[in-house]
Structure 1
Amino acid sequence: MGEGRRAAAAGRVRQPGLVLTDHFFDVPLDHTAPDGESIRLYAREIVAAGRVRDDLPWLVYLQGGPGFPAGRPIGRENWLDRALEEYRVLLLDQRGTGRSTPANRQTLPLRGTPAEQAAYLAHFRADSIVRDCEHIRHRLTGGRPWTVLGQSFGGFCAVTYLSYAPEGLAEVIVTGGLPSLHAGADTVYRAAYPRMERKTLGHYARYPGDEAAALRIAEHLADRKPGEEEVLPDGSLLTVEAFQQLGIVLGTGDGSHRLHYLLEDAFVDTVAGPRLSDAFTEQVAAVLSRAGSPLYTVLHEAIYAQDGRPTHWSAERVRAEFPQFDCRFEPGGRFLFTGETVHPWMLRTQPALRPLRETAELLAAREGWTPLYDPERLARNTVPVAAVVYHDDLYVDAGHSLETARAIAGLRTWVTDEYEHDGLRASGRTVLDRLLRLVRDEA
């Protein structure tokens, strides 16, 4: 059963069809200095009811992000139902997220100055997450390799795993998360802005009245005088640029429909004239707030940094190359939503991010980022790998993903337009089942 499962379990609960066990692990902050400071990681073990004592292989799930904890399951929902047929599943809260030693505006001041905070967070990229996994694997499996399922950024981590610790892997499943092995942040965003435009125009083709509705909201926001700004329930200032970021939902299967319903009820009449409704701003805050996931903003561009150069707020700089995203209020003007981008103004408009402003600036200026992938080793890969690539994925460029698929020896790819980036969840069992058959040469 492994020493970790016997000794590290801190609690066990049952849900219909599931047995869930808590695990905590102390790991080095810096794996190159194993005798130095440690941080705590949390992971939730899930096994089908009735199979608790079975000697099942392990599957570790790596969540998308960066900066998000693993999901909190309620019963045998979506992909988990398929996985539990044959695996003991581990949902890992990656370092800094969830119940792992948290990193946010409340805890990071314990590290000291913004410079010390930035130095601390430099250890929170995919290379450290992979070393965390290896530390945990030896505790739980007794050294046996396990299966990794990586969704989105979790897939980036899986490719790092294949690069630097393939001996720990029995098989790898990647869903919407094959990264470019070479592209820096600027290249990533130059490919991303045209996708954002396509997704926006596709939404307007489905819901033709939504562009006028979006333009009306944007013009209302642009006309606000000091003291009249629209403020979200979490205290964030809703600017035109922040409103554009609602386009992030267009990367999911139901996102276009959700955006439509959000736009259609934006305004209410008040004694001060038309204002955005509380119902609207509450829903906007639910999409845009990073109070629960600050690392998504602070570390986002660092996941693309590999060549030693700073990212210098790449998405903000590259946006200037696409002037069509500048909102035009003259007759015939267009309004385009953006998507998965982070910008320095977010550290001013969101209260939960504001205390981390200087830390984020230091990370954006940081030099010396090391490579996250080893193309030569990946070209010699012997671990079975299967990946789904969504043909016009808003978040991860399909062209970059297919180039990487060709560069990893033995990787089998399923390219589809049936699902968007959230296909692993939205498809129920379908996506995981097909990839398991692919990785085993059964399909």
Structure 2
Amino acid sequence: MTSTSYRQPGVVLTDHHFSVPLDHTAPDGERIEVYGREVVAGGRTGDDLPWLVYLEGGPGHGARRFNGAPAWLGRAVRDYRVLLLDQRGTGRSTPRNRQTLPAVGDAAAQAAHLGHFRADSIVRDCELIRGQLTGGAPWSVLGQSFGGFCATHYLSTAPEGLREVFITGGLPSLDGHADDVYRAAYPRIQRKVEAHYTRYPQDVERARRIAAHLAEQPTTLPGGYTLTVEAFQSLGILLGSGDGSHQLHYLLENAFVRTGAGHELSDAFQEAVSQQLSFAGHPLYALLHEPIYAQGGRATGWSAERVRAEFPAFDAATALAGDAPVLFTGETIHPWHFTSDPALRPLRETADLLAARTDWPALYDPARLAANEVPVAAAVYHDDMYVDTADSLRTARAIRGLRTWVTDEYEHDGVRAGGERVLDRLIGLVRDEV
């Protein structure tokens, strides 16, 4: 482990670099690096504080970069020494993307390699890192979204390493196949789109106009992304966050510019859409999004694409042929992502092999969760677009002693949008203060 310290307003940061096995069942084999940023309040650097490790949502996203200690981090550093972990393959950890994966080998080798980048491997990384940072003492975990999936796996496999667990928008189904996840997701997505159009009725015609333009003339965005109708619809992923409806509205309102040749999609619109849709900064999200649900001997088989066919309201061509609104989609990954996005195009065969894999290990142990003794509190967001509320509540009942806070005050990003309040509430729950 190597470390470097520096300061930001109100906090001291320390960069940590850890060497871990790619495959924890072969500890003498290939090794990769995992990065974590320690954050401690400026006046408490010498204090013997308990550790809190933050597991970001995703998969495939590095830990959020903060300036100082805003939002939940400000609450956390009052009580903890925080580790913002870049999960393997993300951020400053050994990156896995179109530039680095060719060195692993062909598509089959890449798919086998990426099989070591799910929650099971992330938790085993955490256990190695915990031994180096805490001297073996248990630590606390805050898991946001996919980070909550990791925390649930942690409770299933290594609860002895946990002092307490906080989960926000991230209680997974313990046994649902990806098909079940998406069959529950599409109706939620439709409700979010309908709510957006109720708030901004002018966006119905704007979205139809953009979709009609793209149906006739797919556009190559800055950076080489091919904007098709389906890609445009995927902007609906914004609707799962607290201010996402407003972001989408402002994105749509200046889509066209008048030129000498007629109306064209404006440069400003194209640039903004490119930034929203590109996976260049988080390619593992696309590659591993469906595999995070895979277990039980079944392939995911491009689940979101197959299940979408069961919901014809999302077919833009049908909507444009009549007078129905064009529905946006949400947190779904499709084969066309790997032809539209230049950051993903070289990885299409790898993605196909991951979608076909059937021997994914089980991620959760219901018997161990039913016997849980670790204090756990979870924020469950009512009608969360990304994680099914019903699944979350079933899992909450399956984990012994877990306390829930079910709220419709926030969307999926409540732990970020809610300032200190969400984490403070969860801390209160595990301490029996609320």
TM-score scaled by length of structure 2? 0.99
Give unpaired runs (5+ residues) of structure 2.
none
Shift of 1:439: 1.1
Shift of residue 267 of structure 1? 0.2
- Please report how far the alpha carbon of residue 313 of structure 1 lies from its aligned counterpart in structure 2 after TM superposition: 0.3
Pairs within 5 Å for 1:38-437? 38-224=31-217, 229-327=218-316, 328-437=319-428
What SS does the corresponding residue of 1:393 show, helix, strand or coil? coil
Q: CA deviation at 1:9?
A: 4.1
Shift of 1:10: 2.6
For the residue of structure 2 that corresponds to 1:435, the secondary structure is helix
Q: For residue 230 of structure 1, report the CA deviation from its aligned partner.
A: 1.1
Cα offset for 1:334? 2.3
1:22 to 10, 15, 28: 15
1:403 partner amino acid? R
Show the counterpart of 1:4. none
Distance in 1 between residues matched to 2:424 and 2:276, nearest whole Å = 30
CA contact (8 A) 1:9 1:21 kept: no
AA aligned opposite 1:145: P
- What amino acid is the match of 2:242? G
Residue 365 of structure 1 deviates from its aligned partner by 0.7
Q: Matched residue pairs, number?
A: 432
SS in 1 for 2:247: helix
Secondary structure of residue in 2 paired with 1:182? coil
Q: Helix, strand or coil for the counterpart of 1:428?
A: coil
The Cα of 1:57 is off from its aligned counterpart by 0.2
Equivalent-residue separation in structure 2 for 1:221 and 1:55 (angstroms): 58
> Does structure 1 conserve the Cα–Cα contact (< 8 Å) formed by 2:143 and 2:166?
yes
Q: Is the 8 A contact 2:2 2:18 kept in 1?
A: no
Deviation digits for residues 198-256 of structure 1 (CA, Å, limit 9, x no counterpart): 000000111111111100100010011xxxx3111121110000000010000000011
| C-alpha separation in 1, matches of 2:343 and 2:231 | 15
Pairwise CA RMSD? 0.8
Residue 391 of structure 2 aligns with an amino acid whose one-letter code is H
Q: What secondary structure sits across from 2:143 in the alignment?
A: strand
Equivalent AA in structure 1 for residue 277 of structure 2: L
Q: Distance in 1 between matches of 2:312 and 2:123?
A: 39
Amino acid at match of 1:309: R
Whole-Å separation in 2 of the counterparts to 1:29 and 1:332: 52
Query: How far apart, CA to CA, are the structure 2 residues paired with 1:268 and 1:133?
Result: 50
CA offsets, 1:404-429, max 9 Å, x none?
00000000000000000000000110
Q: Distance in 1 between matches of 2:14 and 2:65?
A: 12
Q: Is the 8 A contact 1:218 1:243 kept in 2?
A: yes
